[in-house]
Structure 1
Amino acid sequence: MVISAIQVLDRRFDLPNGSGSDATHTNPQYAYAVCVLKTDTSLEGIGLAFTLGAGTELVCQAIQFLSEKLVGQEIEALMANFGTTYRSLVDSPSYRWLGPHKGVVHLALAAIVNACYDLWAKSRQVPLWKLLLDLSPEELVNTLDLSYLEDELTREQAIQLLTEQYKTRENRNSVLTTGYKGYDTSVGWFNFSDELIVEKTKQALDKGFTALKLKVGSDDPLRDLRRATLIRQTAGEAATIMLDANQKWNVPQALDICRRLGSINPYWIEEPTHPDDVFGHQAIARAIAPFKVATGEHIPNKVIFKNFLQAKAMDFCQVDAVRVGGISEFLTISLLAKKFNIPVLPHVGDMGQIHQHLVLFNHIGMGHENLFLEHIPHLRSYFVHPANIVEGYYQVPQEAGSSSDLKP
């Protein structure tokens, strides 16, 4: 199956009033820069990179530039040593200068890489999660680029880690029967009224969700505390409540407000300050313990994730396969997090479509803890095979590929 041409699409979707809003991104439009790998068959590989509308055209241009060398490649030969191809794409000399390994060019890489894995799974007529589980440790590591991680994770160590987990993976296959638990982010968008977050919380509980997330980061911290208390009172003490500041606070503000928000017993406080501030997150994590810090939605690459893990600056790793350099880098970071014994709970810029596959592999194939996956429903009607949630659980996808196909 040979890649014959590249098509790039700019897809943008308006949201209902208040949906998708947070303290930093107050009026978002959800969008994808889409890489389509055409082949000499009827199959196409679809890869997504997530944006908030404006600027998507820049990512699309970068996809066009970076993907040129894939034309003429046969998919099995390409993926057999994809780590080498990945490194050549990410280190294209001129385009590397525009990052390196972050921003518009790295988002473009995510779309390209995700399209390659999608086409690979479709060519083998299996869902992405099964494709990954069917690979041997060596074959999986061949798809990864471990450069700049050698001080913490060598190729040999990665293979050994996967081999050790292979021995016990049958003990974790039950997730394929139960599905993967979700948590609902859509109850607590920043621009929702107090009355609406209470109503949305009740609706989520009725749908079987027991874990919910509220956006915080208001100019008035008392607003955050009031709304967090409302959700806790509505959901009950047994519910799992996450709080997400979306980078709004500086470190002194975060230290003060996180302590006050501890009164509602949050499961984590997410992105409490600037996403590049390793030592700021470290200081916050140390100060608010035993409450935990989650971050990673806007961490752009494996090297910065390495630094966060080395500094013990995150308690939960929220790597996103449509933010970092696609599935390959997501799996690399998941291996690194496993080595540091930090759970991976992805941010779902793809609305959970690709990540429902990746968390299954992370749990079964890597031995990551089976916790839960974020659920955001706003784009599900645009997908050919939308993520299916029943009683608060992601159902295991059965269709070939990565569930990334969008309706025309």
Structure 2
Amino acid sequence: MIYKIAVKDARYKLDGNAGSDAIHRDPVYSYAVTQLADDSGITGTGFAFTLGEGNDLVCKAAEYYAQKLVGKDIEETMADFGTLFKQLSDDQQFRWLGPHKGVVHLALASVTNACYDLWAKKKGLPLWKLLADLSPEAVVNTLDFSYLEDALTKEQAIVLLTEQQAGKATRGGILKTGYPGYDTSVGWFNYSDEKVRENCKKAIVAGFTAMKLKVGSADPERDIRRAHIVREVAGADVKVMLDANQQWNLPDAISICKKLTDVNPYWIEEPTHPDDVLAHRKLAREIAPVKLALGEHVPNKVIFKNYLQAEAAAFVQVDAVRVGGVSEFLTVSLLCKKFGIPVVPHVGDMGQLHQHLVLFNHIAMGHEALFLEHIPHLQKHFVHPANVKNGVYETPQEAGSSCELIGITI
């Protein structure tokens, strides 16, 4: 039984110009951390990701949600977590502040993720294994399909997962080989051209076969020049992604994206405002065959549904510390599987939680194992940091979701 909760505000200043992009020039990577203490002596840890001053608002909301779990048994809770998730996300005190977005939804993510971590620890299993061993019905019972019925029902989700059962053993081979990563730190926005060039060389030596550059400069020629630097160093066979972090309006996005096609980008990420589904659809058609990736700032399953229905995204970057946590992440992954779109998460968690979720997506859901973003800057703060060697995430073996932070205790 959960008998005690704690919510902590954890903030980490980055070194140098790390983390900078076209919108966030001086970010402070921050976590609203929820801890759930069980009377068996186990503590579940979950968090949502922010970039600084707003973190305390998320913590305050997370305390409200977490208090509702006191006295609950985690096994019984997770057996029908989808129902609880809907009740919490529709809480009449908070729903007006969303619905299902912003501070309150980030808070729900923190609490939800703590529930999954506690559940896995109670089972003595890494989260990926707990999820992969569940029956399709048990997985679906942890999810909320409200507002998705026109695209995916609970019954259809069970069928989808059931159809993938036969291939689980074969796809489980990835547990030995590891899940591929890509280096997102070669080209932070405020890095000099020389540092971008140096970082690209280091990434190749480290075994990465894909890397990402931040674009969205006031002068598009800067973006074009730096993109060519990355392509020159990386060579033709390395995947190069470009991330504008929502900087452009639609006319500028069309113009600049067309100029960037010379470097053969694997995708162009977050080109314009994340709420503007129709702008992304128009842009996707204008710059095809160059593909769009998005999802870092898409707050919930309904908007992801709209993007998929509009055929506006070729890659979905749903983030379990941005949407309503693991539950909503898995719901969006099922939607993407239904629509045939790959899931390549944004990693506000630095890949800690998502290394578990992409393994489940591949093994149990049949998603292609493309790669997972790798950001190393907070590695020293985790009890069990993600282990990336030769450009590959090694499979985590510790019980839980790898989200415990050093020095954060209940």
The answer, yes or no, to whether TM exceeds 0.5 is: yes
CA distance in 1, matches of 2:95, 2:57: 15
Deviations, residues 131-187 of structure 1 (Å, cap 9, x unaligned): 001110000000000000001101110000000001211121110110000000010
Letter of the 2:159 counterpart: Q
SS in 1 for 2:341: coil
SS in 2 for 1:304: helix
CA distance in 2, matches of 1:156, 1:83: 14
CA distance in 1, matches of 2:19, 2:314: 25
User: What is the alpha-carbon root mean square deviation over aligned residues?
Assistant: 0.5
1:252 equivalent in structure 2: 251
2:38 equivalent in structure 1: 39
Deviations, residues 356-395 of structure 1 (Å, cap 9, x unaligned): 0000000010000110000000000000000000100000
Correspondence list, 1:361-400, <5 A: 361-400=360-399
Please report the TM-score for the alignment, with normalisation by the length of structure 1.
0.99
1:19 equivalent in structure 2: 18
1:305 equivalent in structure 2: 304
Letter of the 2:306 counterpart: N
Letter of the 1:300 counterpart: P
Please report the TM-score for the alignment, with normalisation by the length of structure 2.
0.99
Correspondence list, 1:100-249, <5 A: 100-249=99-248
1:73 equivalent in structure 2: 72
1:405 equivalent in structure 2: 404
1:276 equivalent in structure 2: 275
Structure 2: gaps of 5 or more residues: none
SS in 2 for 1:182: strand
SS in 1 for 2:37: strand
Deviations, residues 93-119 of structure 1 (Å, cap 9, x unaligned): 120011000000000000000000000
Letter of the 1:400 counterpart: A
1:341 equivalent in structure 2: 340
Q: Structure 1 residue 41: deviation in Å? A: 2.5
1:10 equivalent in structure 2: 9
Q: How many residues align?
A: 407
SS in 1 for 2:11: strand
Could you tell me the percent identity over the aligned residues?
64
SS in 2 for 1:67: helix
1:89 equivalent in structure 2: 88
CA distance in 2, matches of 1:288, 1:342: 18
SS in 2 for 1:374: strand
Deviations, residues 13-33 of structure 1 (Å, cap 9, x unaligned): 010111000000111010100
SS in 2 for 1:31: strand
CA distance in 2, matches of 1:238, 1:355: 26
Deviations, residues 248-301 of structure 1 (Å, cap 9, x unaligned): 000000000000000000000000000000000001111111110000000000
SS in 2 for 1:72: coil
Letter of the 2:100 counterpart: H
CA distance in 1, matches of 2:255, 2:153: 40
Deviations, residues 171-205 of structure 1 (Å, cap 9, x unaligned): 21110110000000010000000000000111111
SS in 2 for 1:104: helix
CA distance in 1, matches of 2:298, 2:385: 26
